[in-house]
């Protein structure tokens, strides 16, 4: 889930730089350990908006199985993938290569193919009437293990996300329940992604954007290619993480909750090494009816709010081909 950013696609990529690394090892019940980890994590997300986390508790074998299933999915015959294609009525399933273009008509299409998954909800659940983003996912019949592996990884990400939000609340001096209660019946979602090798190092896999969610959890791909915009906005730095670490970043919703203390940072993907690149970012999003307002008072965010269901639905429809372009000079997702 992302907001469009002005198209600053400069190739002024600086040397790769390691992001702040937060070690989550240690007892979660130890107050001093939690305080130390919370300060480290909060400081990284305030200064950079991105961090690498080790000791996160998600089994390396599960991450590998998730990667293997993602590779298999995109290797399916084109006809099988297209039969599971997303539609204007259902934001789930296969996204063809080059299907989405940021600010429709104003830039080249993103060079990835994807597969969209949302929180698995039975079709007859009453909450499906409240938001079109609830409901059952589409699963290819030829891959019976995909939904099993995704469910295991999904649960692991939700558990890690809850732990991270608890640490963040400690950093912001907030009672964790204030945020965690908004994460019941969430609109959590995941996008499985494949970036084919490109003929030019300058071709964009995913255009510069900010995530609109609360937190994003990503298992980095060995092919690299994820670039984070510097705080001075003058150049892009390739994100490097230690082996086995997960990458997390702040989304617009958490930036708003924190009154701007935590930073939602623009990033992009350039598959510049000519290798197949795969990823499966997990996006944490509150319940559809949550209205996000600053929990930390700051003048620049005073009066701003965001309706989770409306924003999430708007992003989907604005991405659809022939939809009205969003004016990139405006911020349509956080309203006064």
- Taking only Cα atoms into account, the Rg of the chain, rounded to an integer number of angstroms, comes to 19
CA distance 235 to 69: 35
CATH class of 2-319: mainly beta
Percentage above 90 pLDDT, the chain: 64
Q: Tell me which DSSP letter residue 324 carries.
A: P
Whether the CB-CB separation of 239 and 19 falls below 8 Å is answered with yes
Q: Is 212 buried (19+), middle (13-18) or exposed (0-12) by CB count in 10 A?
A: buried
Segment 257-283 mean pLDDT? 91
Q: Is 243 buried (19+), middle (13-18) or exposed (0-12) by CB count in 10 A?
A: exposed
Residue appearing with tokens 């090798």: 197
The confidence band for 203, taking pLDDT boundaries of 50, 70 and 90, is low
CA distance 212 to 256: 10
Segment 22-36 mean pLDDT? 83
**69-81: b (≥16 Cβ within 10 Å) or e:** bbeebbebeeeeb
In this predicted structure, the answer to whether residue 77 has a pLDDT above a threshold of 60 is yes
- Tens digits of residue pLDDT in 159-198: 999 999 999 999 999 999 999 999 999 999 999 999 988 7
Take residue 60 and report the two structure tokens written for it.
């390396």
Segment 54-83 mean pLDDT? 97
CA distance 35 to 44: 14
Domain limits, the chain: 2-319
- Tens digits of residue pLDDT in 210-264: 999 999 999 999 888 888 988 777 788 888 899 999 999 999 999 999 999 999 9
Whether the CB-CB separation of 20 and 44 falls below 8 Å is answered with yes
**Considering only CA atoms, which of 22, 37, 5, 13 is closest in space to residue 252?**
5
The structure's pTM equals: 0.90
CA distance 172 to 238: 28
* Strands of 78-195, DSSP E: 93-95, 113-118, 189-195
Distances (CA, A) of 260 to 160, 161, 172: 23, 20, 11
């Amino acid at each position: 889930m992302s907001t469009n950013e002005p198209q600053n696609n400069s190739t002024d990529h600086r040397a790769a730089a390691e992001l702040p690394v937060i070690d989550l090892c240690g007892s979660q019940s130890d107050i001093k350990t939690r305080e130390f980890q919370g300060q480290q994590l909060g400081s990284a997300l305030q200064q950079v908006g991105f961090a690498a986390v080790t000791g996160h508790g998600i089994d390396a074998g599960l991450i590998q199985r998730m990667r293997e299933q993602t590779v298999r999915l995109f290797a399916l015959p084109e006809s099988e993938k297209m039969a599971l294609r997303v539609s204007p009525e259902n934001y789930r399933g296969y996204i063809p290569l080059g299907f989405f273009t940021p600010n429709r008509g104003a830039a080249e299409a993103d060079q990835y193919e994807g597969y969209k998954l949302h929180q698995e909800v039975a079709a007859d659940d009453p909450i499906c009437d409240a938001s079109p983003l609830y409901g059952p996912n589409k699963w290819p019949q030829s891959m019976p293990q995909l939904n099993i592996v995704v469910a295991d990884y999904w649960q692991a990400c939700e558990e890690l996300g809850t732990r991270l939000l608890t640490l963040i609340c400690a950093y912001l001096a907030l009672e964790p329940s204030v945020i965690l209660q908004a994460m019941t019946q969430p609109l959590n979602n995941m996008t499985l992604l494949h970036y084919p090798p490109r003929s030019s190092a300058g071709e964009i896999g995913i255009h510069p954007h900010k995530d609109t969610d609360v937190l994003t959890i990503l298992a980095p791909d060995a092919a690299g290619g994820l670039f984070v915009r510097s705080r001075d906005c003058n150049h892009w730095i390739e994100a490097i993480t230690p082996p086995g670490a997960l990458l997390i970043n702040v989304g617009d919703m958490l930036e708003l909750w924190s009154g701007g203390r935590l930073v939602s940072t623009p990033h992009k993907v350039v598959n510049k090494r000519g290798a197949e690149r795969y990823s499966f970012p997990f996006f944490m999003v509150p319940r559809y009816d949550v209205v996000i307002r600053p929990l930390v008072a700051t003048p620049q965010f005073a009066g701003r709010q965001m309706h989770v269901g409306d924003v999430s639905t708007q992003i989907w429809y604005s991405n659809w081909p022939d939809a009205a372009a969003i004016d990139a000079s405006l911020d349509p997702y956080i309203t006064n």
